């Protein structure tokens, strides 16, 4: 069983990767333009759909139900597992609603004000609009009746099965003059998750967020190329580390913004880094020698089985998250990272020391 710090580390991992996804999209909007951000979001969610949707139906016990309720229930349950508040309503076997009330998990805080309509809609085109194709139900489409980024009280819509096959451009349409009927929140479908212990729920929340990283790295390398992936993802990863270290460190009862630049400060940051990487499922070891603290990782499990165009550059982009956090913890420390990828896998070490 995890102690209080271990539980906080699970929360921290989820918080950091949630923020990384949001920051990446906003960075693409501001630096690469709306079209590039939209294309990224579409590719990201299409990749996740192709990897997760059909296996997820089996895991959730939804296979074999009518298509519209199957899809709405999938989104309801899978998002609930990740800690996202979601509503569900079945009107008929051919029409079922799903609703994501505010605040939107993916566009946390004031970030939502910078997300264009087309970028948010790309998520629906990437995933929701492809459900019928994956199910072999070409008449199934998704009708969006509101998105929070447009000032509506939530992202909502319904799956509906038509009597004819839909063309690709018909699989997602927008009808803001319609509205989801009232939801009885006390009568919503339930999984056994509400009886899970806190550690299991937090592990699921962490895994949900880490999946964004696992999709993010190959998708971004395919879209921008490995070098520009470091430029864009590395930039926002560093900013997320700088911005969220204090929140996560305090939750883990660790100091932050200490400006001591001594070995004790290096130990504190080593504890933070080791705890979060351990919570992410990495095999972590620590040691202290020669006036420095070393955090070592035997592998990089977060990217297992991923086909990356350039794994080392992908690592460099991801590593900026921890370098940014180190700078926020104590700007008078240095962190030197060594990484190699050989026949036996990854070998990674962070050397944390006073300047």
| pLDDT single digits (tens) 92-116 | 999 999 999 999 988 989 999 999 9
Give strand pairing partners of 277: none
Helix or strand or coil: residue 156?
strand
| Residue at 71 is within a domain | yes
Query: Is 124 in the same domain as 257?
Result: no
Give strand pairing partners of 350: 295, 337
Mean per-residue pLDDT of the chain: 93
| Residue at 218 is within a domain | no
Query: Is 178 in the same domain as 245?
Result: no
Query: Is 332 in the same domain as 257?
Result: yes
| Residue at 208 is within a domain | no
The CATH number of the domain holding residue 127 is 3.30.1380
Query: Is 252 in the same domain as 147?
Result: no
Summarised one tens digit per residue, pLDDT across range 332-349 is 999 999 999 988 889 999
Query: Is 191 in the same domain as 242?
Result: no
CA separation for the pair 95, 92 (Å, rounded): 5
| Residue at 82 is within a domain | yes
Single pTM value for the model: 0.94
Query: Is 158 in the same domain as 246?
Result: no
CA separation for the pair 283, 298 (Å, rounded): 5
Query: Is 238 in the same domain as 147?
Result: no
Query: Is 258 in the same domain as 186?
Result: no
Query: Is 16 in the same domain as 135?
Result: yes
349: enclosing H helix or E strand: strand 345-354
Helix or strand or coil: residue 230?
helix
Query: Is 127 in the same domain as 244?
Result: no
| Total tally of structural domains belonging to the chain | 2
- Residue 129, token pair as written in the block: 């609009």
| Residue at 209 is within a domain | no
Contact criterion met (CB below 8 Å) for 217 and 232:
no
Query: Is 150 in the same domain as 280?
Result: no
Name the residue with higher pLDDT: 61 or 178.
178
- What is the pLDDT, as a whole number, of residue 80? 79
284: pLDDT strictly greater than 80 = yes
Cα separations (Å) of 10 from 193, 201, 350? 17, 9, 21
Q: Which domain holds residue 79?
A: 4-195
Helix or strand or coil: residue 125?
helix
- What is the pLDDT, as a whole number, of residue 343? 84
| Residue at 28 is within a domain | yes
35: pLDDT strictly greater than 90 = yes
| Residue at 266 is within a domain | yes
Query: Is 178 in the same domain as 138?
Result: yes
Summarised one tens digit per residue, pLDDT across range 115-142 is 999 999 999 999 999 999 999 999 999 9
Last residue of a domain, one of 178, 195, 212: 195
């Amino acid at each position: 069983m995890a102690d209080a710090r271990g539980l906080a580390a699970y929360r921290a991992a989820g918080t950091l990767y949630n923020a990384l996804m949001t920051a990446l999209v906003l960075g693409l909007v501001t630096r690469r333009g709306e079209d590039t951000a939209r294309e990224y979001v579409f590719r990201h969610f299409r990749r996740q759909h192709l990897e997760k949707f059909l296996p997820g139906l089996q895991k959730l016990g939804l296979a074999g139900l009518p298509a519209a309720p199957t899809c709405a229930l999938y989104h309801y349950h899978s998002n609930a597992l990740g800690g996202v508040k979601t509503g569900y309503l079945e009107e008929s076997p051919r029409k079922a609603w799903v609703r994501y009330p505010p605040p939107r998990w993916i566009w946390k805080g004031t970030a939502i004000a910078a997300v264009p309509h087309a970028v948010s809609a790309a998520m629906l085109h990437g995933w929701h609009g492809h459900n019928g194709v994956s199910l072999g139900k070409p008449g199934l489409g998704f009708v969006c009746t509101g998105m929070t980024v447009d000032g509506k009280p939530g992202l909502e819509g319904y799956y509906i099965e038509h009597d004819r096959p839909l063309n690709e451009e018909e699989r997602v349409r927008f009808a803001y003059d319609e509205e989801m009927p009232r939801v009885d929140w006390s009568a919503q479908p339930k999984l056994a998750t509400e009886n899970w212990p806190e550690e299991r729920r937090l592990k699921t929340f962490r895994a949900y967020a880490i999946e964004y990283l696992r999709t993010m790295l190959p998708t971004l390398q395919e879209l921008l190329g490995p070098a520009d992936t470091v430029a864009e993802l590395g930039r926002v990863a560093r900013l997320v580390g700088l911005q969220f270290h204090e929140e996560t460190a305090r939750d883990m009862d660790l100091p932050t913004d200490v400006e001591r630049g001594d070995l004790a400060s290096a130990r504190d940051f080593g504890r933070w880094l080791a705890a979060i990487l351990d919570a992410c499922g990495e095999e972590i070891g620590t040691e202290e020698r020669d006036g420095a603290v070393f955090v070592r990782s035997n592998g990089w499990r977060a990217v297992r089985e991923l086909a990356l165009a350039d794994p080392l550059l992908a690592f460099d982009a991801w590593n900026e998250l921890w370098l940014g956090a180190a700078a926020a913890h104590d700007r008078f420390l240095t962190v030197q990272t060594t990484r190699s990828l050989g026949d036996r896998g990854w070998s990674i070490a962070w050397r944390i020391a006073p300047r």
